Structure 1
Amino acid sequence: MEKERSLQELFGREMPYTIEVDHIKRKFLNLSFGRHERQKLDIYLPEDGDGPFPVIIYLHGGAFKLGDKSDSQVLPFLEGIELGYAVISVNYRLSTEAKFPEPLFDIKASIRWIRAHALEYNLNPDNIALTGASAGAYYAVMTAATQDNPEFEGAYIGNSEFSSKVKVVIDWYGPTNFLCIRDHFEESGLSIVIPSPKDGVPTPEELLLGASLKDIKGLAMFTNPITYINESFPPIMIQHGKIDPIVPYQQSIILAEAIEKNGGKNQCILDIADGYSHVDTRFENKRNMKKVFDFLDTYLK
């Protein structure tokens, strides 16, 4: 409990809780896109209209080992149903259940499932955004960087005849290059509140990979979305707090630089927020969410 309280103080908020969605009239919960119990998604539709609705997919955070599609993390993006969006919250296998790239396969499979069932649920298969926070943001960026790359599709899960491409991405404070995280913390002078290799405790990234980073540098580069960014990378908005003690803000800077260099000009909006921490509630306020939805509107409406 002491650790939990310190994290709550650090984030300036309560830890995620299960949301109440009885007030949302049109919803389809716990739809399976694969055989594993974690391969499920929830669809929330606008109250009025027949669609087809542009889609916002949300991927929860949780250090790769925690979190659920029904966590309160999705609430800011659920505002999208009032703006004419279908919002879909997706579960993926956690690092306690599967190692990389299996969770990425889950996300690709969920996108293919959404396209396969677009007509049934009044979804627009051509206008799909992928959004996420922290670990979810990492998966969103990795999905976008490896679009239609057979090596990362996980076609065995199903609907392999459909594409896993997305049109636009929102990245909230996600990691990028696992090998640089500790160096970036030292550069920032921030205290790390998550396990460090020096502690003899596996880091979240090591749990995801199933091995120590110092022993698998090649695999760590295999997990780095920067490795795969090219001109097909979709437009992206990246937002990151400058005093983030979980994922250093430099992780977003190197991603933005790679997109600018290899993904094409004007493909990336980078917003490094002074004084913002990890999971900072100010990212979720009305002013910032208007900025986020305006960005999504540009590409999806």
Structure 2
Amino acid sequence: MSGMYFFLGLVSFACTCTALVQARRLYWAAPLYFFAAWLSGELAMIHLLWQVALTAALAFFGVLDDRLAQAGLGLFALSWMGLVYLHIQAMDTQRILRRALRRGLGIDYRCTLSSERQRVLEDGVRASSWMKPFSMYRDGVRVHSHISYADGGKRNLLDIYHPQEPREGGFPVLLQVHGGGWMIGEKEQQAKPLMYHLAQRGWLCVAINYRLSPLAAFPAHIIDVKKSIAWIRENISQYGGNPDFIAITGGSAGGHLSSLAALTPNHADFQPGFEDADTAVQAAVPFYGVYDLLDRYEIRPEMSMEKMLSDRVMQCTREQNPELWESSSPLAHVHEDSPPMFVIHGTHDTLVWVEEARTFVSALQKVAKEPVVYGELPGAQHAFEVFHSVRTDHTVNAVTDFLEWTHARWLAGRA
């Protein structure tokens, strides 16, 4: 028993270290490192609780009298200090994102909202939420599943989340695009904390599947995203949504696709056969996205995605089709008329480095007329907001602030 306790202490200490250390050039080990850091960092307090409970139980039975178990206790103690630090770091997310919103939208941005909409905003997070990280359901939310938006079978289905009670003027719409390296992923797997939160507060959220590589080559992915926007414009009023206000979000590959869709409204090459459809969106919130497939600034030269993209996603090299590679990069489409955008990225992202987000935001802020908000989260890993955590729930609150602000400003412009 003492040997098992020592082993668990060693594993716990190692996993906590992965969440604390910003590691980069990991090559084949990057997915393993990410997985350990992701679960350790976002579930820090839960890990701390079970480890302390285990230690107390073994102490009661006298197991800690053994020297090997005492060495394990030392490793656990080091892990606990790291886990407490990670929890405190996650609690700081509210301050960081609120400061980013004030810098991008103005100190008193909440004052532009009606008193009714100000009441739906939240500042704190509930332990009852982050202590049950995989409990997604929320009262008052209806879900319509597996609705077809195009002719791609299962890969062209969407789900709709919306309140049970109607909203005057219709629900503003948020379109969620899942990630997964353009090759895996399902609409049911990501952004549920955000979608349920918004649906409880008078928003309609649409989560889509889209065609995946290697069965489909780019630009099939963005074409499907555009098809879903066109479908929303045409059909969402049947579910109580307002087709005139659509925001878009997504993480990783979904961050790439959502930002690309936001920056290429009515782009004919991405709308074959439905060129006349209006695919403009009114706001975008990309999470930890890939913004430059060409990596023109050599941000990740030793961890390049080029071979994977060439072989499976683009299914051509950049030399064979430079125009396609260029047009597939959101960075290439930065322009002054881009919609309001809230870009979110973690400093410790192992899979998509934070410098990519910084470069993209810098380019946007130089030319965009509309606000560009950038939230850089210390210690956050890739995919941090997939399930409930302290960091996730604070981020969901901040995204709600941003979307409510953009919707209120859009309504004011219409008036």
TM range (shorter): 0.7 to 0.9
Aligned partner of 1:27 in structure 2 is 143
Q: 1:22 to 1:252 in 2, by over 3 A?
A: closer
- Which structure 2 residue ranges, 5 or more long, are not aligned? 1-28, 43-133, 409-415
Count of aligned positions: 284
Distance 2:390 2:280 in 1: 26
Q: Which amino acid aligns with 1:166?
A: V
User: Contact between 2:345 and 2:375, CA under 8 Å: does it hold in 1?
Assistant: yes
Matched, 1:99 2:99: no
TM-score, normalised to structure 1, is 0.84
Q: 1:25 to 1:298 in 2, by over 3 A?
A: closer
1:274 to 370, 378, 383: 378
2:368 to 263, 273, 279: 263
Matched, 1:11 2:11: no
Tell me by how many angstroms 1:22 deviates.
9.7
User: Contact between 1:244 and 1:276, CA under 8 Å: does it hold in 2?
Assistant: yes
Tell me by how many angstroms 1:216 deviates.
4.6
Tell me by how many angstroms 1:6 deviates.
4.8
2:299 to 184, 205, 224: 184
Tell me by how many angstroms 1:149 deviates.
1.6
- Which structure 1 residue ranges, 5 or more long, are not aligned? none
Matched, 1:44 2:148: no
Q: Which amino acid aligns with 1:11?
A: W
Which structure has the larger Rg?
2
Distance 2:335 2:137 in 1: 39
Following superposition of structure 1 onto structure 2, how do residues 18-167 of structure 1 map, counting pairs within 5 Å? 26-37=142-153, 38-51=155-168, 52-156=170-274, 161-167=276-282
Q: 1:41 to 1:19 in 2, by over 3 A?
A: farther
Answer 1 or 2: which has greater helix percent. Answer: 2
User: Contact between 1:62 and 1:134, CA under 8 Å: does it hold in 2?
Assistant: yes
Residue by residue over 1:208-233, the C-alpha shift from the partner in whole angstroms, topping out at 9 and shown as x without a partner, is: 11134465544321211222222221
User: Contact between 2:266 and 2:277, CA under 8 Å: does it hold in 1?
Assistant: no
Aligned partner of 1:171 in structure 2 is 286
TM-score, normalised to structure 2, is 0.62
Tell me by how many angstroms 1:103 deviates.
1.1
Which protein has greater RCO, CA pairs closer than 8 Å, 6+ apart?
2
Aligned partner of 2:308 in structure 1 is 203
Following superposition of structure 1 onto structure 2, how do residues 241-256 of structure 1 map, counting pairs within 5 Å? 241-256=346-361
Distance 2:367 2:30 in 1: 41
Give RMSD over aligned pairs: 2.9
Secondary structure at the residue paired with 2:290?
coil
Residue by residue over 1:158-178, the C-alpha shift from the partner in whole angstroms, topping out at 9 and shown as x without a partner, is: xx6531111000010000112
Secondary structure at the residue paired with 2:382?
coil
Say which is worse superposed, 231-240 or 203-212, in terms of deviation.
Answer: 203-212
User: Contact between 2:177 and 2:208, CA under 8 Å: does it hold in 1?
Assistant: yes
Distance 1:56 1:110 in 2: 12
Say which is worse superposed, 48-57 or 33-42, in terms of deviation.
Answer: 48-57
Q: 1:252 to 1:8 in 2, by over 3 A?
A: same
Secondary structure at the residue paired with 2:231?
helix
Distance 1:117 1:218 in 2: 34
Secondary structure at the residue paired with 1:41?
strand
